[in-house]
Structure formats: C-alpha cells, structure tokens
Amino acid sequence: MTILVIAEHDNASLKGATLNTVSAAAKLGGDVAVLVVGAGSGAAAEAAAKVAGVAKVLVADSAAFAEQQAENVAAQIVAVVQASGGAISHVLAAATTFGKNVLPRVAALLDVAQISEIVGIESPDTFVRPIYAGNALATVKSSDSVKVITVRTTAFEAAGEGGAAAVEQVAAVADLGLSKLVGRELTKSARPELGAAKIIVSGGRGMGSSENYHRVLEPLADKLGAAMGASRAAVDAGYVPNDYQVGQTGKIVAPQLYVAVGISGAIQHLAGMKDSKVIVAINKDPEAPIFQVADYGLVADLFEAVPQLTSAV
C-alpha cells in the first residue's frame, strides 16, 4: 500500500501545507511517497525528500507544469497512479485552492469519489469530515479502489525534518494545452501566512473602512507578529484583498490566538476559525454571536480598545 501525497510548491520550495498532508498520510499506514509535479522543481523535490516519514519522492518535470494548471497536473497524477498497477491506494493533497482545484479532476478521471477536507482518519477507508459549515461532522466510508482525499491542514500537525528519501524521476505526460496563465497578482506581505500563523488579528465590517482597517489593526498585528485576516463583509467592502477572508468559503485557520475585531460572528465566519485555541472578541454589541465562541470577550468600541491593547502587549 502506497500513499501518494501531492506536493504543493513553487518549484523552489515546498509549501507548508504539504507537511500537514504528509502527517495525515502517515496515519494511514503504508509507504508515503511524495509526487512533485513541476518545472525545474529539483529544489522542491529535495525539500520533500528531507521530510520525516517520506519513503520516496517522485518527480515529473516539464515546462507544461510551470504554472500548475489543474488539467496537466491532474493528468500527471492519474498517470502515476495508473502506472503503479494498483500499488497506490490513496492520493492526498492539502485542501488549499491548489488541492481543491486539482484533486476532483483526478478523482473523476479515476472514476472514484473524492473525500473533501478530512479532519480525522478512523481507518484506511473511513474518514471524518465537516459538513454544513462545520455544524456537523460526518464519518464516511469509501468503497472505491483508490481513495482521493483533500486534507484540512489545521487538523494535522506539520511533519518535521529528518527524512532521507530517494528521489526518482517519472515520465511527464504531454501538455494538454487547454489553459494558459495570463498573470498573477499576489498579495505581498512580510507577515506570516494565514494558514500557518500562531496569532491572527482579524477585522470585520466594524472597521468601517480600508484606511481604518490598516491604521488600527496593523500596529497590533506588528506587535504580536500576527497574520491578518478578515470577514467576508470586510473583503466585499474592499478593505482588504480576497485572500484575507476567513470562513466556510475562505480560509480555515486554527491559530493559538485569534483576535476578532468588529466581526459579528456569522456561522460562515465561525466555520473558519472556531478551532482556534484561544479566541478573543472585541465588539461593541454585547449580543454579537462571536461572544458565544470567544474565550475572552470585550464589549468596547474597537477604536479605543485596539490601540490600548496594542500599547499593553
């Protein structure tokens, strides 16, 4: 039984989410192989070989994989699974926008179901996953020959270093030529990534404007070394870019400390942050639902409380 983990990378380095996926894979029992589909991705492959618990690294290298479009990457994964002659029993990727984009294609091409965003593993064919914005947890059993799974990274620890896996090249599939990259606008930030941050400071519609969001929250985030997040309302209103959104349909986070400022606590928002270890809510409305999940609630005007907090920490 071989568990194939799909590496998420930018050719030069491995993304942190891959480490959590390796930990989930290790829980299944069996050999963990990491597949790096990339273009000039030797450095990412070497990083994967050093991850504890990885038995083998497979590398498929082609210019067609440079931009990581779903069509070519999925075709490559399917080719690797089929070439294994049944040895590969599971295909795992992180439930990031990359994994969510690629893995359902793999499942469909293999004619199997995908099990989305698992948070627990009961046995090699039985998994726990949240449904209805995390208001229910379903235990599902798969009858398919190959299990195709996306992993909620916050539910599994990151694997450490210490591996010394062999790196093996595999034949790259032909370019399907269906899609081409026009450009990317990536948010540049010196702050930690939302998904991996220990502390997150998050602002909602209560911030009132983009200017306020940055003026009030950034000094606090700077002092705490925190990542910055937002509610959908704040993103929709243009205070911050889309990749700040925390929630059912944005990013799922579980930091040590989540500070929710001017966020009411709609179920869609709670779905993305209620597994945080400690939640602090600052809101002027004592009835705001966010207080129901907060460990520490402060009813106050954020424009007074946040600067005070910034100077006190």
Partner 1 sequence: MKILVPVKRVVDYNVKVRVKSDGSGVDIANVKMSMNPFDEIAVEEAVRLKEAGVATEVVAVSCGVGACQETLRTAMAIGADRGILVETDADLQPLAVAKLLKALCDREQPQVVICGKQAIDDDANQTGQMLSALMGWPQATFASKVAVGDGKATVTREIDGGLETLEISLPAVVTTDLRLNEPRYATLPNIMKAKKKPLETVKPADLGVDVTPRLTTLKVVEPAKRSAGVMVADVAQLVEKLKNEAKVL
Ligand X SMILES: Cc1cc2nc3c(=O)[nH]c(=O)nc-3n(C[C@H](O)[C@H](O)[C@H](O)COP(=O)(O)OP(=O)(O)OC[C@H]3O[C@@H](n4cnc5c(N)ncnc54)[C@H](O)[C@@H]3O)c2cc1C
* Residue 137 binds ligand X, judged by CB under 6 A: no
Residue 184 labelled as part of a binding site? no
Whether residue 163 is annotated as binding a ligand: the answer is no
Half-sphere exposure of 244 (CA within 13 A, CB side): 28
Extract the tokens encoding 204: 């909602």
Q: Does 96 bind partner 1 (CB under 8 A)?
A: yes
**Residue 256 counted as an annotated binding residue:** no
- Closest alpha carbon to 205 in 154, 151, 269, 141: 269
Under rule CB under 8 A, residue 242 binds partner 1: yes
Q: Are strands 126-131 and 120-123 parallel, antiparallel or unpaired?
A: antiparallel
Residue 140, interface with partner 1 (CB under 8 A)?
Answer: yes
| Binding to partner 1 in span 147-186, by CB under 8 A | 178-186
Q: Name the minimum Å distance from CB 274 to partner 1.
A: 7
Cβ(49)–Cβ(167) below 8 Å: yes
The full DSSP string for 25-51 is HHTT-SEEEEEEEESS-HHHHHHHHTB
The CB-nearest residue to ligand X is: 247
Binding positions for partner 1, 56-75, rule CB under 8 A = 69-71, 74
Contact call for residue 205 and ligand X (CB under 6 A): yes
- Please report how close the Cβ of residue 313 comes to partner 1 at its closest, in angstroms: 6
Distance separating alpha carbons of residues 309 and 126, to the nearest angstrom: 45
Q: What are phi and psi of 103, to 5 degrees?
A: -65, -35
Binding mask 275-294 for ligand X (x = CB under 6 A): --------xxx--x------
Query: Token pair of 104, please?
Result: 């359902």
Q: How far is the CB of 196 from partner 1 (least distance, A)?
A: 11
131: tokens are: 């449904």
CA distance 250 to 231: 9
CB of 165 to partner 1, least distance (A): 26
Which helix H or strand E contains 76, and what residues bound it? helix 70-83
The residues of the shown chain that bind ligand X, judged by CB under 6 A, are: 131, 138, 140, 204-206, 231-234, 245-250, 262-264, 266, 268-269, 272, 283-285, 288, 301-303
Annotated binding residues for FAD: 205, 231-232, 245-249, 262-269, 283
